[in-house]
Amino acid sequence: MDKIIKKPDILLLILSGAALLISILNPFPLPFDAAWIAIILCGIPILLEAAEGLITAFDIKADVLVSLALIASVCIGEYFAAGEVAFIMQIGALLEDLTVAKARAGIERLIQLTPQTARILPDPDTGSEKIVPAEEVRAGDLLRVLPGEMIPVDGVITSGETSIDQSVMTGEPLPVDKRAGDEVFSGTVNQFNVFEMRAVKVGADSSIQRMIQLVQSADAQKAKIVRTADRWATWIVVAALTAALLTGLYTGEMIRAVTILVVFCPCALVLATPTAIMAAIGNAARHGFLVKEGDALEKLASVRTIAFDKTGTLTYGRPQVSVVESFHKDLSKDRLYALAAAAEQFSEHPLGRAVVRCYKESFPNDPDLMPAAHFQMIPGRGVTAQVEGKEILAGSQEMLSERGISLPRELSETETDYMRQGNTLIYIAVSGQPAGLIALADMIRPESEEMIRRCSALDVQPILLTGDQQDTANSIAEKLQITEVHARCLPEDKLRWIRDCQEQQEKKPVCMIGDGVNDAPALKMADVGIAMGGVGSDIAIEAADIALVEDQIEDLPHLLALSRRMMTTIRCDLALSMGLNLLAVLLAIAGVLDPVTGALVHNAGSVLVILNSALLLKYKT
């Protein structure tokens, strides 16, 4: 179970540090050596942990050598040396614990998205219904879903037309029109009309339950990086005991053997990784990155592949009007735009609201819309309204065809180009005549292109994983110069791609960047998950290792470069600490150092490590 930092832990360290100062400075007489306070408060937990590891699993960690040095120092009366070693080790443990995130709430939030009830129609002839818990629905049951309700299970629509917000599953920014025969997924939301559906996948087989299972399994498979000192603990213990034993036998001086154990303690090794990580986390925070998992930056330094979600990550995640085109000779583009916005002003559909919003943004000096009367919304088709005495139709091509309105033949090629570029089209008819179209698209963030270029310059390959259609994904990828694209991805598809990529690259770390609930399993499975914190869902943020607080994605290359500089700093710290330890061991063998001076020398190594790591706070790319 993860250790949680508490105020009493910090208070005990403060008391231990004060006790060591009193022990060495001796400002006033005490009936006992004040270092005993540090030995008891900091040393006993180390002894217990070392004993538990040895007894239960014969697990030799750095704590074993520290325990030996502590016991040996106490046995010969060098209490300050014993207390100082224990104190430094607990400082290192505190820094490590501060860098470890406690982010398990994401799974609980995901469970809250699970539909609680369902409306079952036991008798299709009478149409009577009863509300039951969603887990009681069985495959083949006929269900009714009202506007605004969450779909309880996976199934197929049997009657009715509506639009479904399925961003929770696919990340698509716009609702998807559905009619009889179309599939719907649990956890998605019915936007407009009542419809009936037949249950196909229920219980643990439903989409939302499978996503919860994916997040849980991915979390279980994600291994933590082992502390550097613990990786080498067995060899350090063997080398220290051998050197101490041979020196004691050869010289006959027990104090030299104890000094070797003291200076061999891997305090600087313990501090090397967490101090560098803490400094790098501070640097990242100033650039808008909240690093939640302590080992995330360590893994990010080795990343050579980054998978990007599209909606809300590389794009803004909301539709914007990209083109207004009039093919009516007596109707200007601005006039067509004004008529369409007036007709859409009462629409609840995201596309209609986008037209109104963008019109007001385009004409800030004249934001008032023309009055509209006889408004009618036709789910899955569009809207109709009377504006200045003219009947305005704004909707799909099928809607115009049903009213006997034919679009110009020469429009087909232009229409294909717009759709290939990822646009959604709204066709406009005025008084029964085709008048023009409005193209809407999820606009690319202006900083995305430069960010992708800088990542590529760092030898990191960008990949696009999106739930959008293939044409839309290809259009975005082409503009951003991303060569590998995977479209129409459900949560399990993204997770599967992350897992396959890790296996193909011989377990080299893979990074995933996303913002939606549907990205949570992939964010959790990836070696490093980065969530868009501003627009991102709470669940995606909880699943990720790093949150981008202000959604300023242009600083991602800085984070990559920072992680690599951090690893360089850690290697320098390790080399410095091991070199100083080796020198101290040689001096201890020669009898130049006693346990107290040995403790101070290896404490100086710890200070140098901290100072070197602190330089990361000022690092700039």
- Residues with a catalytic annotation lie at 309
Q: Considering Cα of 463, then 469, then 473, then 476, what sign does the dihedral take? A: negative
Backbone angles phi, psi at 424, to 5 degrees: -105, 135
Residue in 575, 570, 321 with CA at minimum distance from that of residue 439: 321
Q: Which tokens in the block code for residue 241?
A: 């005991």
Distance CA 146, CA 169 (A): 20
What residues form DSSP beta bridges with 98? none
C-beta separation of 407 from 400 below 8 A: yes
- Output the CA torsion 473→479→485→490 (10° steps): -30
**How far is Cα 538 from Cα 552, in angstroms, rounded to an integer?**
18
Q: Which residue is listed with tokens 């207390």?
A: 83
Q: How far is CA 590 from the centre of its chain?
A: 53
| Angle subtended at Cα 607 by Cα 266 and Cα 282, rounded to the nearest 5 degrees | 100
CA dist 176 and 491 (Å) reads 17
Is there a contact between 258 and 595 (Cβ–Cβ < 8 Å)? yes
Residue 397 neighbours by CB distance under 10 Å: 18
Query: Residue 391 belongs to what H/E stretch?
Result: strand 390-395
Amino acid at 124: P
Residue 228's nearest CA partner among 572, 592, 607 is 572
| Per-residue DSSP letter, 99 | T
Nearest to 594 by CA among 25, 250, 65, 80: 80
Residue with tokens 């120092």: 73
3-state secondary structure of 377: strand
Q: How many residues does the chain have?
A: 621
- 91: part of which helix (H) or strand (E)? helix 79-98
Q: How far apart are CA 480 and CA 315, in angstroms?
A: 11
Q: What CA–CA distance (Å, rounded) separates 260 from 240? A: 7
- What gap in Å lies between CA 92 and CA 274, rounded to an integer? 7
Cβ neighbours of residue 6 under 8 Å, at least 6 residues apart? none
